[in-house]
């Protein structure tokens, strides 16, 4: 069964201390993501970066949130310690889900991906929305608990419970690394 590692919003705005959505707990999340990326690359598993990236002008998301993650700015670049390689794929998203109005599903299907390991932030918003859409599209979804986080711990916990109960499997980082190694 073919796999891919999908990183959701692993960008400066969330992971760099100067970012407008930075949360100190994300430092540990980034360390776990770096471990997953290293394992994926060693095993030849595709790494896909879904980056929040908004254009100037009207944006429906501004009805609920202040402007953030503007396209082609420092905020939407990967944080220090996370390299994007030539064979990685970058998908730009303007809504919470990495699937909504992007070509992510087509890209995964063309590569024969059936299992999607997801990591990133925020668990209760963009990660959950992406996983819900992945499940609805028929992907087996795995979420390593150490590789996701939120600045709202109670919503993070609720999202992990919902994801594990209804949409996928929430596993340890070590279990996720073992899943990456499966044929």
Domains of the chain by residue range: 2-181
What rounded mean pLDDT belongs to the chain? 95
Whether 56 shows a pLDDT value over 90: the answer reads no
3-class secondary structure per residue, the chain: CEEEEEEECCCHHHHCCCCCCCCCCHHHHHHHHHHHHHHHHHHCCCEEEEEECECCCCCHHHHCCCCCCECCCHHHCCCCCCCCCCCCEEEEECCCCCCCCCCHHHHHHHCCEEEEEEEEECHHHHHHHHHHHHHHCCCEEEEEHHHEECCCHHHHHHHHHHHHHHHCEEECHHHHHHHHHCC
The whole-number average pLDDT for the span 88-96 is 97
The whole-number average pLDDT for the span 86-112 is 97
d(Cα 139, Cα 61) in Å, to the nearest integer? Answer: 26
What is residue 115's predicted lDDT score, i.e. its pLDDT?
Answer: 98
Whether 57 shows a pLDDT value over 90: the answer reads no
What is residue 61's predicted lDDT score, i.e. its pLDDT?
Answer: 82
Query: Quick one: pLDDT band at residue 1, thresholds 50, 70, 90?
Result: low
Please choose, from the candidates 182, 45, 56, the residue with its C-alpha nearest in 3D space to the C-alpha of residue 169: 182
What is residue 122's predicted lDDT score, i.e. its pLDDT?
Answer: 97
Please write the tens of the pLDDT for every residue from 60-79. 887 788 788 888 999 999 99
Whether 154 shows a pLDDT value over 70: the answer reads yes
What is residue 118's predicted lDDT score, i.e. its pLDDT?
Answer: 98
Query: Quick one: pLDDT band at residue 97, thresholds 50, 70, 90?
Result: very high
The whole-number average pLDDT for the span 150-176 is 98
Q: What is the CATH number of domain 2-181?
A: 3.40.50.850
Record the pTM: 0.96
């Amino acid at each position: 069964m073919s796999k891919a590692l999908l990183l959701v919003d692993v960008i400066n705005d969330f992971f760099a201390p100067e970012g407008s959505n930075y949360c100190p707990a994300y430092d540990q999340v980034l360390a776990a993501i770096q471990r997953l990326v290293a394992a994926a690359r060693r095993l030849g598993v595709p790494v896909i970066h879904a980056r929040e990236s908004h254009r100037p002008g009207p944006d429906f998301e501004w009805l609920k949130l202040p402007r953030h993650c503007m396209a082609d700015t420092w905020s939407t670049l990967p944080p220090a310690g996370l390299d994007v390689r030539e064979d990685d794929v970058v998908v730009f998203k303007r809504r919470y889900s990495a699937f909504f109005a992007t070509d992510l599903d087509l890209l995964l299907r063309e590569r024969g991906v059936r299992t999607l390991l997801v990591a990133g932030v925020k668990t209760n918003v963009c990660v959950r929305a992406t996983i819900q859409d992945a499940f609805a599209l028929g992907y087996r979804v795995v979420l390593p608990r150490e590789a996701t986080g939120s600045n709202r711990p109670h919503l993070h916990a609720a999202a992990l419970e919902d994801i594990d109960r209804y949409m996928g499997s929430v596993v340890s980082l070590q279990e996720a690394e073992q899943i990456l190694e499966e044929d």
